[in-house]
A and B are shown apart, each in its own frame.
Chain A
Amino acid sequence: EAGVVQSPRYKIIEKKQPVAFWCNPISGHNTLYWYRQNLGQGPELLIRYENEEAVDDSQLPKDRFSAERLKGVDSTLKIQPAELGDSAVYLCASSSPLKTQYFGPGTRLLVL
């Protein structure tokens, strides 16, 4: 069974540029999470989807971040415009009801 797939694995952009990350969860997992992990820290939730509905986005900086999961399967996370402080690893995770979360490899973003 394939795990959570994310792309790209690495991204380097200049500040004020837009950037997008893509995630394909494990097949059959209804719940999808986007986390951000700064160096030396644990992951912090940005947004959680149940199927196509965003049910927990209180930690998402909505002035510059947006996310979608239109068909309830894969998801994209966008930052526009990016700031220096957005440099981090963006992790996608998925789970089936009441089960363990499984993480993708992450996208390592560097904003210059």
Chain B
Amino acid sequence: GQNIDQPTEMTATEGAIVQINCTYQTSGFNGLFWYQQHAGEAPTFLSYNVLDGLEEKGRFSSFLSRSKGYSYLLLKELQMKDSASYLCAVRENSGNTPLVFGKGTRLSVIA
């Protein structure tokens, strides 16, 4: 079966660093994605990992450990606009197979 777990909610302070964890158990693995979704809006692509290690893109970084079925999204220098839901998703097979999403982590950035 498919199981993607991430915390339901997190709160962090403006200017700080926050790490959102994601663990997965899927029938296959061909990449892990992180999307950001503001309330009432569509998910927007943040990052993609298919090999172990850290991918850095500006204030956002994503890490993957395939052997542990684990990923995290790291957000640095938090801004109020980073308040959103962060969705972890796995692509199980090659090609254009659909993504399997976790339930999302709702991040609140406070002053």
Contacts and interface: CB of A to CB of B under 8 A. Distances in A.
A45 B95 contact: no
A85 interface: no
B98 A105 contact: no
Contacts of A31: 96
Given A100-B33, A105-B42, A48 B98 contact: yes
A103 B102 contact: no
A18 interface: no
B99 A101 contact: yes
B48 interface: yes
B32 interface: no
B56 to A, nearest CB: 17
State which size class the interface on B falls in. Answer: 20 to 34
**A interface residue count range (under 10 / 10 to 19 / 20 to 34 / 35 or more):** 20 to 34
Nearest to B96: A31
A22 to B, nearest CB: 15
Given A48-B96, A48-B98, A40 B103 contact: yes
Interface string B73-111: 000000000000001010000111111011110000000
A35 B103 CA distance: 14
A95 B42 contact: no
Interface of B: 4, 33, 35, 40-45, 48, 87, 89, 94-99, 101-104
18 contacts: A31-B96, A40-B103, A40-B104, A42-B87, A43-B101, A44-B101, A45-B98, A91-B42, A98-B95, A100-B45, A101-B45, A101-B99, A103-B35, A103-B43, A105-B41, A106-B41, A106-B42, A108-B40
